[in-house]
């Protein structure tokens, strides 16, 4: 598939989704988009995520294969690096925490360049790390902020997040700071994919689609709050109805932009368990990162280890006995 086909096919699908919901609400009614589809989406999401994780977790890990990124534990006077080459559970937890919370491996990133000579040089390349942090943390804050719609009374930490987030709104009138952070991160990730030739070459529709979908969700959210304002009270009514299993469409009408937003979120939820976005679950199961480097210290058992055909010493001696005797090598049988 051509690089541009990947990009545009993903873009078209997202545009189609926007149109379906924008126009569909008028035709099929709000309860389909406001109640039925979100319920189906959440069910598929929950079942799907659990099924995927169970599917992975059921596959055995026959060998302990951590990638060691630092000095392993050996002699007492050699300083072992418990975070990069963990030798106990704390080390593993620390390593995973660094990885999951701070994207440790991406922080290491460098860019290799080839010069005439030939010469290779490596430059620090932390932009991907930074964009990844903005993107994921922006997303996290947005999700947490949304809890205000689903929980009554609103938990204080959600209030706190919202007010800190909104505080900067004075400076930046149209978006929450977290929205901006998220949009900047996502836009960078998109541009990077298009601009770096190698990355464009390897990108599939499955790489562009989630980005466009998330961008669509963020943009429709921003529009809904700042441009085509919707009745937030009505939205909250609907959301509370959904989480308490008393779904009902609120009396007050909610503008179609809200249903676009909600529909795109539903699509994301459905898509997620079947896509690369599952990396959020997979990273915890990754054997190169979540195992301690204690291979020579502790016994490890492979559940499907089986006997194999070997060349035994007896067979070996039978092959070479005379020669061994001549050479003065001790043998078992004379």
Q: Which of residues 185-214 bind another protein (CB under 8 A)?
A: 196-207
Coil vs helix vs strand at 122 = strand
Binding mask 52-71 for another protein (x = CB under 8 A): x--xxx-xxxxxxx-xxxxx
Kindly indicate which of the ranges 154-162, 232-240, 247-255, 301-309 contains the residues binding another protein, using the contact rule CB under 8 A: 301-309
Which residues have C-beta within 8 Å of that of residue 56, sequence separation ≥ 6? 281, 282, 285
Q: C-alpha 210: how far from its chain's center?
A: 11
Kindly indicate which of the ranges 27-35, 160-168, 259-267, 285-293 contains the residues binding another protein, using the contact rule CB under 8 A: 285-293
Distances (CA, A) of 298 to 236, 291, 334: 54, 12, 40
Are 1 and 204 within 8 A, CB to CB? yes
Interface residue with another protein among 31, 169, 187, 286 (CB under 8 A) is 286
The CB-of-321 to another protein minimum distance in angstroms stands at: 9
Task: Write down the residue that tokens 């990133």 correspond to.
Answer: 109
Tell me how many degrees the CA angle 248-239-187 measures, rounded to the nearest 5: 135
Coil vs helix vs strand at 252 = coil
Coil vs helix vs strand at 61 = coil
The verdict on 318 binding another protein (CB under 8 A) reads no
The verdict on 89 binding another protein (CB under 8 A) reads no
- Looking at residues 111 to 130 of the shown chain, list those that interact with another protein (rule: CB under 8 A): 111-114, 116-120, 122, 128
The CB-of-323 to another protein minimum distance in angstroms stands at: 4
Q: Pick from 218, 221, 198, 199: which is nearest to 208 by CA?
A: 199
The verdict on 153 binding another protein (CB under 8 A) reads no
The CB-of-152 to another protein minimum distance in angstroms stands at: 36
Are 333 and 313 within 8 A, CB to CB? no
Interface residue with another protein among 173, 309, 333, 334 (CB under 8 A) is 309
Task: Write down the residue that tokens 């106990």 correspond to.
Answer: 88
- Looking at residues 23 to 42 of the shown chain, list those that interact with another protein (rule: CB under 8 A): none
Residue closer to another protein, measured from CB, 227 or 308:
308
The verdict on 275 binding another protein (CB under 8 A) reads yes
The verdict on 319 binding another protein (CB under 8 A) reads yes
């Amino acid at each position: 598939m051509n690089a541009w086909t990947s990009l545009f096919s993903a873009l078209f699908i997202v545009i189609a989704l926007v149109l379906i919901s924008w126009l569909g609400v008028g035709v099929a009614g709000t309860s389909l988009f406001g109640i039925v589809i979100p319920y189906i989406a959440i069910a598929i999401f929950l079942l799907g995520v659990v099924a995927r994780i169970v599917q992975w977790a059921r596959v055995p890990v026959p060998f302990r294969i951590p990638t060691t990124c630092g000095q392993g534990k050996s002699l007492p006077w050699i300083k072992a690096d418990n975070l990069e080459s963990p030798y106990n559970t704390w080390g593993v937890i620390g390593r995973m925490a660094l990885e999951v919370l701070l994207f440790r491996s991406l922080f290491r990133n460098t860019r290799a360049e080839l010069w005439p000579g030939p010469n290779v040089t490596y430059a620090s390349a932390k932009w991907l790390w930074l964009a990844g942090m903005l993107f994921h943390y922006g997303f996290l804050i947005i999700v947490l902020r949304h809890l205000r719609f689903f929980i009554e009374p609103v938990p204080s930490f959600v209030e706190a997040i919202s007010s800190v987030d909104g505080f900067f709104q004075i400076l930046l009138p149209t978006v929450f700071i977290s929205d901006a952070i998220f949009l900047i991160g996502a836009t960078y990730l998109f541009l990077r994919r298009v601009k770096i030739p190698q990355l464009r070459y390897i990108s599939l529709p499955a790489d562009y689609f989630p980005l466009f979908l998330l961008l669509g969700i963020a943009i429709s959210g921003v529009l809904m709050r700042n441009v085509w304002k919707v009745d937030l009270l009505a939205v909250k009514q609907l959301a509370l109805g959904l989480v308490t299993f008393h779904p009902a469409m609120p009396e007050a009408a909610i503008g179609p932009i809200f249903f676009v937003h909600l529909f795109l979120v539903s699509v994301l939820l459905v898509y997620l368990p079947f896509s690369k976005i599952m990396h959020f679950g997979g990273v915890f199961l990754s054997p190169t990162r979540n195992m301690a480097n204690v291979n020579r210290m502790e016994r490890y058992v492979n559940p499907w280890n089986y006997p194999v055909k070997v060349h035994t010493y007896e067979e070996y001696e039978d092959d070479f006995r005379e020669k061994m005797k001549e050479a003065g090598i001790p043998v078992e049988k004379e």
